[in-house]
Amino acid sequence: MITLLLIVAAQVAMAAIEDTTGLKQTAAVYGGVTADKPEAIIGKVVGAALAFLGIAFFALMVVGGYRWMFSMGNEQTATKAKDIIIAAVIGLAIVLMAYALTTFIAEIFLT
């Protein structure tokens, strides 16, 4: 519950900072991405998906570490735990490479 309150407080603080910097006015003058453009919507969806995948990676690392620590010498359980950790790292690498490739292609075609 406290974590949720801290997240909300951080969002409110960031909103206040963003309004005082004049970024929205500058973006409007120079044709920046506004909230109603498709680029902004796609960017928010991709950002949310990456956040979800980061949480999934963290959860898999915790589960794999927990299983490995509490395998109590059982090689089969320890091997399963190692496989979970390896799969999580490979999945994270694939996601990061896909994001880098998408960003690179977007830079080429959208600029």
Cβ neighbours, 10 Å, residue 40: 13
CB 71 within 8 Å of CB 78: yes
Structural domain containing residue 83: 33-110
Q: Are residues 12 and 43 in the same domain?
A: no
Q: Are residues 64 and 94 in the same domain?
A: yes
- pTM (predicted TM-score): 0.62
The pLDDT of residue 1 is above 90: no
The number of domains in the chain is 2
Q: Are residues 27 and 76 in the same domain?
A: no
What's the pLDDT tens digit per position in 34-86? 667 777 777 788 888 888 999 999 999 999 999 999 999 899 999 999 999 99
Mean pLDDT of 23-41: 67
Q: Are residues 26 and 45 in the same domain?
A: no
Residues 10 and 25: their CA atoms lie apart, in Å, by 22
User: At 28, is the pLDDT very low, low, confident or very high (cuts 50, 70, 90)?
Assistant: low
Q: Are residues 46 and 60 in the same domain?
A: yes
DSSP element (H, E) containing 53: helix 38-69
Q: What residue has token string 């969002």? A: 11
The pLDDT of residue 3 is above 90: no
The pLDDT of residue 12 is above 70: no
Q: How many residues does the chain have?
A: 111
What is the token pair recorded at 12?
Answer: 């409110």
Residue 69, C-beta contacts closer than 8 angstroms, at least 6 positions apart: none
